[in-house]
Amino acid sequence: MYRSTVHLRRWPQLRRPESAVKPLSRTRAETARQREYDAGVPELHLSVEPYDAGVVVAVAGELDVTSSQRFSDCLTEAATHSDRVVLDMSKVDFMDTTALAVIVGAWRRQAEDGGLFLLAGARYRYTKALWITGLADRMPMYDSVEAALAAAAGGREDGGEAARA
C-alpha cells in the first residue's frame, strides 16, 4: 500500500539561509497594515454651503448602505437652513438603492413643506438607480449647480433638458 505521508516525511526540510531572509522595514510594515485597514473602505465627503438662492449639499464619493445615515443627517441639516436644497451629485462615484431612498425621502419632505429639492450634475454612469426607477424623469434635475441655483432663485422646478438626455 502506498502512503504519501511516508514519502513526504523522507524529504529533507528545505531551509533558506538566514542571510536570504530580509525583514521588512518598520515603515513598509506600517504602510502594509495601513493599506490593509483602508482597503475596501469607500470615502465619502459631504459639505453644506449656503447661497442666496438656497443650500447646496455637495457629495463626493460613494453613497451606499454604510454611508446612508450620514447622508440622511446631512440632508436633514440642510433642510433646516433653507427651504431650497440643491444636491450636487457631480462627484458621486457610486450610488445604491439605500442612497436613493434617502434622496426620495428628502425630496418628499421638502415638497410637503412647500420647498424645493433639486438635483445637479447627476451622471448616468454613477447614478443609474435614478434612471432605472424612473425618478430621473420625476425629480427636478439640472446639469450644474449654477443652473439649479438659478432655478431655485426663480422658484421653478422644471429641470434641465440636457441632464435628462
Q: What is the pLDDT of residues 54-109, one digit of tens each?
A: 999 999 999 999 999 999 999 999 999 999 999 999 999 998 889 999 999 999 99
Label residue 16 by pLDDT band (50, 70, 90).
low
CA–CA dist 84, 161 (Å, integer): 20
CA–CA dist 152, 56 (Å, integer): 11
CATH topology of domain 44-164: Transcription Regulator spoIIAA (3.30.750)
Q: Who's near 144: CB < 8 A, 6+ residues apart?
A: 90, 120, 121
Label residue 19 by pLDDT band (50, 70, 90).
low
CA contacts within 13 A on the Cβ side of 144? 3
- Closest among 140, 80, 72, 135 to 106, alpha carbons compared: 72
- Measured CA to CA in angstroms, residue 154 lies from 43, 146, 150, 157 at distances of 35, 12, 6, 9
pLDDT of residue 158: 60
- Locate cell 457629495: which residue? 59
Question: Any idea where the domains of the chain sit in the sequence?
Answer: 4-38, 44-164
